[in-house]
Amino acid sequence: MAGTLIKICGISTPETLAAAVQAGASHVGFVHFAKSPRHLALADAATLRRQVPGHVKSVLLLVNPAPDSLAEAIRTIAPDVVQFHGQETPDTLARFRADTGIEAWRAMAVKDAESLAGVAAFRGAADRVLLDAPASTLPGGNGTRFDWSLLAGWDAPLAWGLAGGLTPANVAEAIRLTGAPLVDTSSGVERSPGIKDVDKIAAFCKAARI
């Protein structure tokens, strides 16, 4: 699919940020969630965010943030997008967008067709939903995929992206099968949990553009 957007999530070093930008990623993600091996303190995420060029969007991943924590994160990092990865409701996202003017994404676990039906609740509340595999140890970044055939003939009610278990080896197939307008990877371009591999980042971006 020509023009597929590419998000490399869990960026934690200047080197891997540069690799993602050079490889043509449209979005880079910073994780602020203490239980994740990709967790960044706000100050560290802010330092990396300042190195992101204007044509690439910075995405801040948060999980069920308290209002004060959310406000502090926005002030410190000034992200282009906030990706909510917990149990945040459509009302929460709608209020966030109205209050901040910042793009809001919501990760959604896909188990079955009923899961996909739930996406419609975020129409008008989220700018995009990310369809991900069901949570296990962590809400995301577990390297597992859901059944992509569930997306055959799916009429998406709002902008969306595909996440969960995407790697350089399978992302082209994923795009072909699902027509995903955006693909999101984290563990799929790592050499160990939380440690990105610059060669895998380059390979993923190349494969997503074939």
The 3-class secondary structure across 139-201, one letter per residue, is CCCCCCCCCHHHHCCCCCCCCEEECCCCCCCCHHHHHHHHCCCEEEECHHHEEECCEECHHHH
Q: Is 132 a catalytic residue?
A: yes
Q: With bands split at pLDDT 50, 70 and 90, how would you rate the model's confidence at 14?
A: very high
**Contact (Cβ atoms closer than 8 angstroms) between residue 186 and residue 140:** yes
What integer is the mean pLDDT of 206-210?
93
User: pTM for the full model?
Assistant: 0.94
Q: Which of 132, 147, 155, 184 is catalytic?
A: 132
Cα 180 to Cα 183: distance, rounded to the nearest angstrom = 7
Residue 65: predicted pLDDT: 96
Give strand pairing partners of 144: none
Helix (H) or strand (E) run with residue 107 in it:
strand 103-109
Residue 160's Cβ-count burial label (10 Å; 0-12, 13-18, 19+) is: buried
Give, in order, the Cα–Cα distances in Å from 131 to each of 5, 44, 153, 180.
14, 28, 15, 10
What integer is the mean pLDDT of 100-104?
98
Domains in the chain, CATH or no CATH each: 5-208 (3.20.20.70)
Q: Which of 9, 99, 155, 184 is catalytic?
A: 9
Residue 194 has pLDDT above 90, yes or no: yes
pLDDT in tens, 158-193: 999 999 999 999 999 999 999 999 999 999 999 999
